[in-house]
Structure 1
Amino acid sequence: LGGLVGCFLVWGVLQERMMTTAYDGEKFATSSVLVFANKAFAAAAALLLWAPWREKRAPACAYKPLPFVAFTWVAVSNTLSSWAQLEALKFVSFPTQVLAKASKLIPALAVGRLVNGSRYGAADYGVAAAITGGTALFMLAQAEDPGAGPANDDAGGLLMLGAYLLFDSATGPLQARFYGEHGADKYAMMFGVGFFSTLLSGLELAQSGDAPAAWAFFARHPAALPDLAVLSLASTAGQVVIYTTLELYGNVTFTVMMIVRQIVSILVSCYRFGHVIAPRAWLGVVVVF
């Protein structure tokens, strides 16, 4: 639990720092560079960990080569969800983003049924509805309270949050389908998704021409480079902890750990960046978690 919370606290703080605050009066605006760095770090780490882990777990002769091109769809959804998540921070606060991320259960249920034919009970839909209602209560209370800071109803921010929910909800079922069809260990999945996500985000950077502007920003503000490096390392370490937790303890334990991590992230963000949450909005937080 400490490893998961620690990694994602660092990741959350630096993500918000790089996307919302200025370096000597200038803000960093190229979220695709952060996506590229995070995915490249993850792919490199997985490659380094994969071979020794596989040798320890199973003989080399038992290893089944994976069709890495099959990772493409998972990588597409993963890359787009990461990009939308970072872009959303340009328009909405980090606590709002965390609450919105918790409400992804409804699209996750829909995508799971569409992609894998999964069936869910009334309790699943009831929990999803309660979480979504709590998120709506939080956002409405924030918008109505003049002391809570800027409203979080910007159309661009809501659009980015919607895109994040859609693509992130698709990533899990696509991974589950890949596991079912091909089988993969945790580092194979991490490397495959990271490798193709790095390619996709790299192509986007080349096509958009944002890379030179980003490097020029880092040249003007070298203090941003350590933030980028630690952000990427924290993201990579967090992914390793997630895959290991799911493997050793299962989904229930992982879900509880993520709830604790999200609550702590909201509190730290409010303290570190001065977000004010309206009293009624806290009721929405309680409903969600």
Structure 2
Amino acid sequence: MESHGGGLRRVLVLAVCVAGIWSAYIYQGVLQETVSTKRYGPDKNRFEHLAFLHLAQNVVCLIWSLIMIKLWSSSSAGGAPWWSYWSAGITNTIGPAMGIEALKYISYPAQVLAKSSKMIPVMLMGTIVYGIRYTLPEYVCTFLVAGGVSIFALSKTSSKTISKLAHPNAPLGYGLCFLNLAFDGFTNATQDSITARYPKTSAWDIMLGMNLWGTIYNTAFMFGWPSASGYEAVSFCKQHPKAAGDILLFCLCGAVGQNFIFLTISRFGSLTNTTITTTRKFVSIVVSSLWSGNPLSTKQWGSVAMVFSGLSYQIYLKWRKSQRLQKKRKST
């Protein structure tokens, strides 16, 4: 009876995690698209300083992590020192800023789809740099994702969607997304290296370290050299309180989303988290198409199906691999 209650409690926690991640990031996606395309105030001006979103989110997530460490005493002795995140902080500052900047040039569904193709640069780097050989099913996954993104990029985008973009330029937009992926790869590798060297590092310590350096770098970029556009962004928010409200909600969604991601990874593992976030991306594209009025053509919907078929197959392969490893451990 007790195990039944424990199982039910586990299912409820998972349901809360799924609801938390989906609601936080789907709504954040809507807000991100709103801030990048909406014309604010009677003067109908766009918020052009999209890199400011990343600084604002760094600040909110930094405060959030400090509160969580204080409340739950998550920070433990033997964790990674704050200065060890400086290099990952650089790539984590540049990468996501490029992803957000891409929304000036391509639609939100196109950006989500391009950023879903993370496995392509990982496999390319693995083959070219480290000589890793992948299995046929892994190549099938990559083919589906690469083919889907390519078809979507080459398909004709509706005039209604193009009219919402600040500066429509598909090659530049997709280029920024793929650079974002490259920088994310370095960030993830560096974080893995840090946690390997300092095993007692908690999720909140990582969040604190990453957002601390992100705040430092983004503040220097937005309010120092080369353009000091942060002052213009703050001025715009003062003149358009609605824009400031959308940006604050965007940041809070990011903090809440990270909270549920850390909870999912700690309770259910990274594979469960990957499954939840992958399905969330698909739902984000559907919501964007229906809610924000970004109609997709039949060919584009077909390419979306290709990409998420490849991602789903990849998740299944990882699950099967983890099951085999568990069986091996039990037999030994």
The one-letter code of the counterpart of 1:165 is: L
Which secondary structure does the structure 2 equivalent of 1:30 belong to? coil
Distance in 1 between the 2:249 and 2:117 partners?
28
Distance in 2 between the 1:274 and 1:280 partners?
17
Q: Post-superposition shift, 1:65?
A: 4.5
**Which of 225, 228, 243 matches 1:224?**
243
**How many pairs were matched up?**
281
Q: 1:248 to 1:282 in 2, by over 3 A?
A: same
> Would you say the 8 A contact 1:106–1:125 is kept in 2?
no
What TM-score results when the alignment is normalised by the length of structure 2?
0.78
Between stretches 80-89 and 171-180, larger displacement belongs to 171-180
The one-letter code of the counterpart of 1:141 is: S
Q: 1:283 to 1:65 in 2, by over 3 A?
A: closer
Q: Post-superposition shift, 1:162?
A: 2.1
The answer for unaligned runs of 5 or more in structure 1 is none
**Which of 152, 157, 163 matches 2:179?**
163
> Would you say the 8 A contact 2:79–2:202 is kept in 1?
no
Distance in 2 between the 1:277 and 1:54 partners?
47
**Are residues 1:251 and 2:270 paired?**
yes
The one-letter code of the counterpart of 2:20 is: G
Q: 1:4 to 1:65 in 2, by over 3 A?
A: closer
Partner deviation per Cα, 1:162-187 (whole Å, 9 max, x = no partner): 22121122222221111112231100
**Are residues 1:3 and 2:45 paired?**
no
**Which of 57, 69, 74 matches 2:83?**
69
Which secondary structure does the structure 2 equivalent of 1:223 belong to? helix
**Which of 294, 302, 307 matches 1:275?**
294
Partner deviation per Cα, 1:37-78 (whole Å, 9 max, x = no partner): 1011111111111244336xx9x6xx2142221101211111
Distance in 2 between the 1:90 and 1:279 partners?
24
**Are residues 1:137 and 2:151 paired?**
yes
**Which of 76, 92, 97 matches 2:111?**
97
Q: Report matched runs for 1:37-56 at 5 Å.
A: 37-54=56-73
> Would you say the 8 A contact 1:19–1:31 is kept in 2?
yes
Distance in 1 between the 2:223 and 2:79 partners?
31
The one-letter code of the counterpart of 2:303 is: G
Q: Post-superposition shift, 1:276?
A: 1.3
Between stretches 212-221 and 197-206, larger displacement belongs to 212-221
Distance in 2 between the 1:27 and 1:97 partners?
19
What TM-score results when the alignment is normalised by the length of structure 1?
0.89
Distance in 2 between the 1:118 and 1:240 partners?
37
The answer for unaligned runs of 5 or more in structure 2 is 1-17, 309-332
Tell me the C-alpha RMSD between the 2 structures.
Answer: 2.4
Identical columns (%)? 26
Q: Post-superposition shift, 1:213?
A: 0.9
Partner deviation per Cα, 1:121-173 (whole Å, 9 max, x = no partner): 32334322321111112222235xx6785497633212211221211222222
Which secondary structure does the structure 2 equivalent of 1:29 belong to? coil
Distance in 2 between the 1:158 and 1:77 partners?
18
**Which of 280, 293, 304 matches 1:261?**
280
Partner deviation per Cα, 1:54-103 (whole Å, 9 max, x = no partner): 36xx9x6xx21422211012111111121011100000000001110111
Query: Greater relative contact order: 1 or 2 (C-alpha under 8 angstroms, separation 6 or more)?
Result: 1
Please name the residue that 2:207 is paired with.
Answer: 190
Larger Rg: 2
The one-letter code of the counterpart of 1:272 is: W
The one-letter code of the counterpart of 1:226 is: G
> Would you say the 8 A contact 2:117–2:146 is kept in 1?
yes
> Would you say the 8 A contact 1:112–1:170 is kept in 2?
no
Partner deviation per Cα, 1:210-267 (whole Å, 9 max, x = no partner): 1221122112211111111111100111111112211111122112111221111111
Please name the residue that 1:180 is paired with.
Answer: 196
> Would you say the 8 A contact 1:81–1:165 is kept in 2?
yes
Please name the residue that 2:229 is paired with.
Answer: 210
Between stretches 42-51 and 186-195, larger displacement belongs to 42-51
